[in-house]
Amino acid sequence: MTRVFSGMQPTGVLHLGNYLGAMKQFIALQEEGECYYCIVDLHALTIPRDPAELRRRTRELAGLYVAAGLDPAKATIFVQSHNPDHAEAAWLLQCVARIGELSRMTQFKDKGKDSESATSGLFTYPVLMAADILLYQTEVVPVGEDQRQHMELTRDLAERFNRQYGEVFTVPDVRIQKATARIMGLDNPEKKMSKSAPSEANYIALLEEPKSILKKFKRAVTDSGTEIRFDPEQKAGVSNLLSIYSAVSGQSIDTLVEQYQGKGYGHLKVDTAEAVIAELEPLQARYHQLMESGEIDDILAKGAKQARAATAETLAKMKEAMGLIL
């Protein structure tokens, strides 16, 4: 079975971009692979957080994983810090990674490059991500487009380590779903939908009320024209609506374009909103049930055990290869 690993940060609210770009792939892959899905709480620490909120968000994200369709009987669902091998392997890999390549990471450049107070964790976090992946001898990593550069670094580090110390790691492939690789912000379709966007109008949260979802779609930024066609360069807003609608309804973009000829943006916005509401309603109901039952802590405890069992051998191989006494 193909080994699959991916993770999400328990920061901010989980949004439609995370769901369509990453989570939907996680759910599909659990049917065919040996899957490890992590809540990467150590990554969240790269920026100062309120401790109580981080704990709450970590459980919330676990609940959303399961409510969205991840099945703890098919996939290992766990919290990164519950498997200490991640932090240890990250240190070993930091001694292979180079300052030059980390300085070129665009996420670091965007969030911290010119700030003296940015944490060193923010700088080295792509190495922790590489450790997360490589520890599981991962073959496939389902992510959104924004993670492509981090995945290239992960592959480079695996290859360098294997060259320098002998074959320890599988070199993983990235899996990006083209149609939903980059869901754009509703308030600015030139930029990706993002948890840290300055305005809530940017995203649809997975736990958002139907009324609010409808309102945000109605106000979604489009161009001043009237023609509905898929053209991300010239018509970023309309194309984003079509991508979202297609992903949640299962209808192809061509079918939707044909269906909305001559109908105007208003119709497309309302129908997209309704399709999103229909997709999220059962997820929200399952989420509330699950969180009330307290079941999530048992799922995470079982996941932590499975995760530790899966990484012990690779970590030992890394240490031995690098000259540490076991």
| Residues near ligand AQP, by CB under 6 A | 8-9, 11, 17-18, 21-22, 143-144, 146-147, 180-183, 192-196
C-alpha radius of gyration, the chain, whole number = 21
d(CA 243, CA 144): 14
Closer CB to ligand AQP, 18 or 76, in the complex: 18
Active site residue 111: yes
Closer CB to ligand AQP, 134 or 315, in the complex: 134
Active site residue 195: yes
Write down the catalytic residue from 74, 109, 178, 195.
Answer: 195
Write the DSSP string, 145-161: GGGHHHHHHHHHHHHHH
Output the residue with the shortest Cβ distance to ligand AQP: 21
Closer CB to ligand AQP, 17 or 33, in the complex: 17
The answer to whether 225 touches 235, Cβ cutoff 8 Å, is yes
d(CA 68, CA 61): 10
Q: Please report how close the Cβ of residue 262 comes to ligand AQP at its closest, in angstroms.
A: 30
Closer CB to ligand AQP, 191 or 305, in the complex: 191
Q: How far is CA 72 from CA 27, 116, 312, in A?
A: 11, 42, 21
Q: Please report how close the Cβ of residue 22 comes to ligand AQP at its closest, in angstroms.
A: 4
Structure tokens at 201: 């109008």
The answer to whether 112 touches 150, Cβ cutoff 8 Å, is no
The two counts, helices (H) then strands (E), for the chain are: 14, 5
Closer CB to ligand AQP, 105 or 193, in the complex: 193
Q: Please report how close the Cβ of residue 17 comes to ligand AQP at its closest, in angstroms.
A: 3
Q: How far is CA 54 from CA 51, 219, 229, in A?
A: 5, 31, 41
* Other beta carbons less than 10 A from residue 261's beta carbon: 9
Q: Please report how close the Cβ of residue 105 comes to ligand AQP at its closest, in angstroms.
A: 12
Q: Please report how close the Cβ of residue 66 comes to ligand AQP at its closest, in angstroms.
A: 16
Which residues are part of the catalytic machinery? Answer: 111, 192, 195
